[in-house]
């Protein structure tokens, strides 16, 4: 039995009560390294390829000036777990209220009895697992010698991508671009503190044309990159279009690239593939394959240095489940972790 678990007798028999971990962003950030997320996310996509995880459809609840997304996944391997993530996304929060754009929580359950194992802040987990998914995709879709990175959108997610891609690819330089020049300059300064050559680009196209790996992580609702804005051999990860109305990569770019979504069934309803299909720029049969099939060897990854790959990252709940399981495994016996006692 884990630390904090106990059994107590009642008049009608034994009722088992168990502690639920409550984990802040700071606690998670201090204890879990980027490479641990990369390994967990890779395992999650391989489990998906073998039908060892279920992914229900995403739900969206509109608010006023934003909305809440609900994503969930169920693992079928022992110990069986369910993760449910509620993320509130309100883009005007920083300027209007001084609050983060994204706020939320992940609940991790025991799938066999419903016990609530952990509640954890979702911002750290979402940022880390998203960057990890890009790194996993880059491992088979980017050129192995890809050294130049472009980050379009220089908020929190861009910094996590910089840290994770720097740990997994031979990155030596980064070009930063953002509608807010101060954000781009801050990220460039951070990159220089890591020993990288860093510059600030005026436009998304300027940043992308000099890069081997391009990551867009913005809330844009109109395409930022089109045909001719990326060089031959590029790997482009569209990360920001995690809802049907968001749009970062033009349909024409997807038409000429090899498109690999994280999960095809989800990407046809949200993400940049969704827009390319709606515009008639490509048919679903022209999708190269999703990430799970590529990792499992059922669909080829990169086969030459001239191919352009687009990774359509819509954000799938199997990565939330994998990250939550990883965090619970690392911290469930931590005597300093906050716990609540709940009957189950």
Asked if the structure places residue 6 within a domain, the reply is no
Same domain, 218 and 295: yes
Q: Within this chain, do residues 225 and 301 fall inside the same structural domain, yes or no?
A: yes
Mean pLDDT, consecutive 10-residue stretches, the chain (344 aa), reads 37 52 94 96 97 91 92 94 94 88 94 95 95 98 97 96 97 97 97 98 97 96 96 97 92 98 94 96 96 97 96 96 96 82 62
Q: Which residue has the tokens 């630390």?
A: 3
User: Is the domain of 237 the same as that of 307?
Assistant: yes
Sign of CA dihedral 150, 153, 159, 160: negative
- Count H helices and E strands in the chain, helices first: 12, 16
**Helix-strand-coil split of the chain, %, nearest 5:** 35, 25, 40
Same-domain pairing of 176 and 139:
yes
- The closest of 27, 42, 54, 194 to 132, measured between CA atoms, is 42
Closest CA to 177 of 82, 248, 83, 90: 248
Q: Is 69 within 8 Å of 60 (Cβ atoms)? A: yes
CATH number at 94 reads: 3.30.1780.10
Residue with tokens 């959108």: 153
Both 299 and 327 in a single domain? no
| Residue 336 maps to a domain | no
List the one residue out of 309, 289, 331 whose CA is nearest residue 19. Answer: 331
Q: What is the pLDDT of residue 343?
A: 56
Is the residue at 1 inside a domain?
A: no
> Is residue 231 in some structural domain?
yes
- Give the pair of three-digit tokens for residue 28: 């998670």
Q: pTM (2 decimals)?
A: 0.91
Q: What was the pLDDT predicted at 5?
A: 41
Same-domain check for residues 193 and 295: yes
282 domain-assigned: yes
Q: What residues make up the domain containing 179? A: 130-315
CA-to-CA dists, residue 86 to 100, 241, 307, angstroms:
15, 17, 37
Residue matched to tokens 């022209």: 286
171 and 260 in one domain? yes
Tell me: do 163 and 226 sit in the same domain.
yes
* Of 94, 110, 17, 33, the residue nearest 323 (C-alpha): 33
Q: What CATH number did the domain enclosing 272 receive?
A: 3.40.50.720
The reply to whether 8 falls in a domain is no
Q: Do 106 and 137 reside in the same domain of the chain?
A: no
Q: How far apart are CA 336 and CA 339, in angstroms?
A: 9
Q: Are residues 222 and 327 in the same domain?
A: no
User: H/E element holding 22?
Assistant: strand 13-23
- Tell whether 205 is covered by a domain: yes
| Predicted pLDDT at 13 | 37
Closest CA to 132 of 277, 237, 287, 1: 237
Question: How many domains does the structure of the chain reveal?
Answer: 2
Q: Give the residue among 142, 201, 147 at the shortest CA–CA distance from 176.
A: 201
Task: Indicate if 119 and 145 belong to the same structural domain.
Answer: no
Does residue 135 fall inside a structural domain? yes
Query: Do both 245 and 327 map to the same domain?
Result: no
Q: What does the pLDDT read at residue 295?
A: 98
């Amino acid at each position: 039995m884990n630390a904090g678990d106990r059994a107590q007798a009642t008049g009608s028999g034994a009722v088992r009560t168990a502690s639920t971990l409550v984990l802040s962003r700071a606690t998670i950030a201090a204890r879990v390294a980027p490479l641990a997320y990369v390994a967990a996310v890779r395992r999650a996509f391989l489990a998906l390829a073998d039908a060892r995880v279920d992914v229900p459809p995403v739900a969206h609840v509109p608010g006023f000036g934003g909305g809440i997304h609900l994503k969930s996944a169920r693992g079928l391997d022992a110990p069986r777990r369910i993760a449910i993530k509620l993320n509130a996304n309100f883009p005007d929060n920083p300027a209007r209220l001084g609050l983060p754009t994204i706020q939320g929580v992940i609940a991790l359950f025991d799938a066999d009895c419903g016990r609530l194992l952990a509640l954890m802040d979702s911002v750290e987990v979402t940022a880390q697992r998203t960057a990890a998914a890009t790194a996993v995709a880059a491992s088979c879709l980017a050129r192995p010698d890809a050294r130049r990175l472009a980050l379009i959108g220089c908020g929190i997610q861009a910094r996590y991508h910089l840290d994770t891609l720097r740990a997994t690819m031979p990155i030596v330089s980064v070009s930063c671009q953002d509608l807010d020049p101060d954000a781009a300059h801050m990220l460039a300064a951070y990159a220089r503190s890591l020993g990288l050559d860093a510059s600030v680009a005026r436009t998304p196209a300027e940043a992308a044309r000099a890069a081997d790996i391009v990551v867009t992580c913005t809330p844009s609702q109109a395409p930022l990159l089109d045909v001719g804005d990326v060089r031959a051999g590029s790997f482009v990860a569209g990360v920001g279009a995690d809802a049907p109305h968001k749009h970062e990569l033009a349909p024409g770019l997807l038409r000429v690239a090899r498109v690999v979504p994280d999960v095809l069934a989800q990407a046809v309803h949200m993400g940049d593939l969704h827009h390319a299909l709606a515009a008639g720029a490509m048919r679903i049969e022209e999708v190269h394959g999703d990430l799970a099939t590529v990792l499992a060897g059922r669909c080829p990854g990169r086969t030459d240095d001239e191919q352009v790959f687009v990774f359509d990252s819509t954000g799938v709940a199997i990565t939330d489940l994998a990250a939550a399981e990883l965090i619970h495994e690392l911290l469930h016996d931590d005597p300093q972790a906050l716990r609540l006692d709940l009957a189950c």
